[in-house]
A and B are shown apart, each in its own frame.
Chain A
Amino acid sequence: NAGVTQTPKFQVLKTGQSMTLQCAQDMNHEYMSWYRQDPGMGLRLIHYSVGAGITDQGEVPNGYNVSRSTTEDFPLRLLSAAPSQTSVYFCASSAKNEQFFGPGTRLTVL
């Protein structure tokens, strides 16, 4: 099993550009989520999904969209990137409590 995979590992965007962060898991987990990690602030939940076709907002959803068309994939879209979205983004999947995190995507918005 590859676990949770994320692409790309690094990305630099200009303000106003859009992009999609990819996340995939091969553990057949129903629950998937996206977090952002900023220095001194831990991980904050952006969006989550409890199964294919079902998504909901987390603590900091503004500026991000998600969709869940399959159990395996949970992409995160930045509609119009802003410098405040410079962060490290982690995708996670879980079944019954234990969350498995991907390796992260380091995003810089200039």
Chain B
Amino acid sequence: GENVEQHPSTLSVQEGDSAVIKCTYSDSASNYFPWYKQELGKGPQLIIDIRSNVGEKKDQRIAVTLNKTAKHFSLHITETQPEDSAVYFCAASADNYGQNFVFGPGTRLSVLP
């Protein structure tokens, strides 16, 4: 089955700096890769996603890149703000509708003022 690894497990950056979180997956059939943000005491919330036919996607300060050959994808957050502090999860899915996800273990991001 699919296995998703995520690094680093914790990340501290100064406010205004960039943060990068990397994930690798094992199943070459995976074709949908979402990123979730989880704030304390809440459920995960989708922040950006990418499909296997696209190499990069950007939404304001957040971007995701995908390298299908190497089976890895990354989340990039620029101009970090204290409200970006949270746990971030990557996931991979090979379903047609991307519904059976395998999640990475998470990265705790702290943005220091």
CB closest chain-A residue, reference B2:
A59
**Measured between alpha carbons, how far is A46 from B53 in the docked complex, in Å?**
29
Chain A 51-82 residues near chain B, CB threshold 8 A = 58-59
B42 within 8 A of A: yes
Interface contacts (Cβ under 8 Å), in number, total 62
Chain B 87-113 residues near chain A, CB threshold 8 A = 89, 97-106
Question: Are B46 and A43 in contact, CB atoms less than 8 angstroms apart?
Answer: no
Question: Are A31 and B103 in contact, CB atoms less than 8 angstroms apart?
Answer: no
* Size class of the B contact interface (CB-based, 8 Å): 20 to 34
Residue among A41, A98, A101 making CB contact with B105, cutoff 8 Å: A41
Contacts of A96 in B (CB 8 A): 97-98
Question: Are A31 and B105 in contact, CB atoms less than 8 angstroms apart?
Answer: no
Question: Are B9 and A40 in contact, CB atoms less than 8 angstroms apart?
Answer: yes
Question: Are A43 and B97 in contact, CB atoms less than 8 angstroms apart?
Answer: no
Residue among A40, A45, A97 making CB contact with B97, cutoff 8 Å: A97
Report A's interface with B, CB cutoff 8 A: 4, 31, 33, 35, 40-45, 48, 50, 58-59, 90, 92, 94, 96-99, 101-104
